[in-house]
Amino acid sequence: MLNNKIVVIIGGAGLLGQSFVQAVEEAHGIAICADIVSAEYPVDITSKESIQALIQKITSVYGKIDAVVNSAYPRTKTFGNHFFDVEYADFCQNTNLQLGGAFLVMQQFAHYFKEQGYGNMVNISSIQGVVAPKFETYEGTPMSSPVAYSAIKAGVIHMTRYVAKYLKGTNIRVNCMSPGGILDGQNELFLKQYKDVCLNKGMLDNADLNGTLLYLLSDLSQYVNGQNIVVDDGFSL
């Protein structure tokens, strides 16, 4: 599906990023794993210069970039705090890191893609940016969903629409995927309560997102532009 396509996965060392890198390679694309912790392709999505240096490094090696996926997830240590415990500064910092970072990635790659004459961007949002959290799934656990996360993820979906439309006539498409929760050793009670609000599986494995990612990266979705695809086993219904 991705024969010879150069696909940059930002946040490629993370839970989702690692399986995205593998999926792109299995589809015969060339996956570039870019991450703040990567030695080969380091990038900080909150720095314009860092994103520019990444683009330059990749193009000097491969001569082109077909697509970028932003799966980076910078956050503060107190990001998980419950609503009444969130400090203003913390809300702003997480918004700057995640929503500001998503903006910078799109802006800098759009610059490059315009010069190149085409391009494809995939943002990673979340069901928390589509519907309000189902707080009942956290009952009896210390977990919650951060208020900034809902604001940021809704922002990522709408910024996707903005940038797609702004880039009219450039052969650049911009789409978004909004996954449900991904299995990562969570508390059993939470997993049960979460499954109760889904249709079949409940929390998903990271590989369950790969089909949608490959579709958005491939020419099968050539005229899908400015869209958000929810992959959540019906959580958001």
Ligand X SMILES: NC(=O)c1ccc[n+]([C@@H]2O[C@H](COP(=O)([O-])OP(=O)(O)OC[C@H]3O[C@@H](n4cnc5c(N)ncnc54)[C@H](O)[C@@H]3O)[C@@H](O)[C@H]2O)c1
Chain positions contacting ligand X, by CB under 6 A: 10-11, 13-17, 35-37, 43-46, 71-74, 101, 124, 126, 179, 181-182
Contact 160, 226 (CB under 8 A): yes
Q: Catalytic: 223?
A: no
Paired tokens of 104? 């910078």
Which among 73, 149, 166, 215 is annotated as catalytic? 149
Residues 6+ apart with CB under 8 A from 201: 195, 208, 233
Q: Which is nearer to ligand X, 69 or 167 (CB)?
A: 69
CB of 117 to ligand X, least distance (A): 27
> Nearest-CA neighbor of 71 among 8, 5, 148, 162?
8
Q: Which is nearer to ligand X, 145 or 221 (CB)?
A: 145
CB of 223 to ligand X, least distance (A): 25
Q: Which is nearer to ligand X, 123 or 221 (CB)?
A: 123
Contact 226, 161 (CB under 8 A): yes
CA 210 to chain centre: 12
CB of 3 to ligand X, least distance (A): 26
Active site residues: 149
